Structure 1
Amino acid sequence: MNWTWFHKLGSPKWFYGISGRFLPCLSIAALLLIGVGVVWGLAFAPPDYQQGNSFRIIYIHVPAAMLAQSIYVMLAVCGVVGLVWKMKLADVALQCAAPIGAWMTAVALVTGAIWGKPTWGSWWVWDARLTSMLILLFLYFGVIALGNAISNRDSAAKACAVLAIVGVINIPIIKYSVEWWNTLHQGAT
């Protein structure tokens, strides 16, 4: 099997050419799917028998939390690719995905607080899952700050890659925190 196409994707010239062709179609599809999902989850889903309408925010909270964790795993993968194979595009992907992951983590924390107030009676508790998600937000801030603080692009790429790889240990902690510790946050349903 010929893998030259894969190595061409590592070149910014080839990648930007290919991604530029797909960008309009994927943007329209993303906007339509997000719009349908938000309207369907917030307007047409029936009320929960115990929580009433307050549970509807879960249709935003859970995907945001899953996306925040997935993006951090992607940062770690990009960090490995950048350190091992020295692909410059991996650093570009890492630097571009970090703010998106930070926003998704912030959305997950805010929507969780909005859901937690009527459910638990409190906006915030130092629960294992909530605290580990807050740590994830700080890890995102660290990657963003580290990338902007170091003026040498290669040194910044290496430092961000190392932080992303080391920080990925937080993802299983987030996932299994409700099983490992007695927490207020509900487990998988």
Structure 2
Amino acid sequence: MYIDIYQYINMKESLKIFKALCDETRLKIIELLLSGEKCVCEIVPFTKRTQSTVSIQLAKLENLGIVKSRKEGKSVYYRISNPKVRKILSKIDFSKWWGIERKKIRWYPVIDKEKCIGCGMCVATCGRNVFEFDFKKNKSKVKNPYNCMVGCDNCSIYCPAGAVSFPQKNRREFIQSLLKKYNIAAKARENVMSMKGGEG
């Protein structure tokens, strides 16, 4: 049997990337790093995980050849080192959330143009290409609102001017209502149980 060794190598490399993407924490780390090199001190709050958990997952990503690190003083910075990661992630379909049409869920950021100071923080910290920077007006703007991960409001937290907001007044209550309405907890458990016996 003839095996194309180059195709085999490419497949093995892609499998490494998919393995990296199958963990929620690693996926969030990669999403953040898509916008550029980041310090661990930025990665931890973005993932909303403990520093020890983030460190473990960063080590796994580095072992898989997905990211590279460098030290600067006491700080450690990480960046995506495998160009295939961006190519694969660009193909991910954000049009659904747990099988639900994303446009049916009213969760997306809104920018107050009067408050926006043009720092670009939302563009730099979002890994889902939700925002873009308008260089003519020197302000950020929402480009792909439904790329926003349902429940994620990090952009509003990072915005120093308080210019980014979401339609819901009580975000937690809104998310909890979605979980109940679409039985998301049961779906999440089913996903987790399907990983039993597999490698993390």
Q: TM-score, normalised by structure 1?
A: 0.26
Q: Does 1 or 2 have the higher relative contact order (CA < 8 Å, sep 6+)? A: 1
- Name the structure with the higher helix share: 1
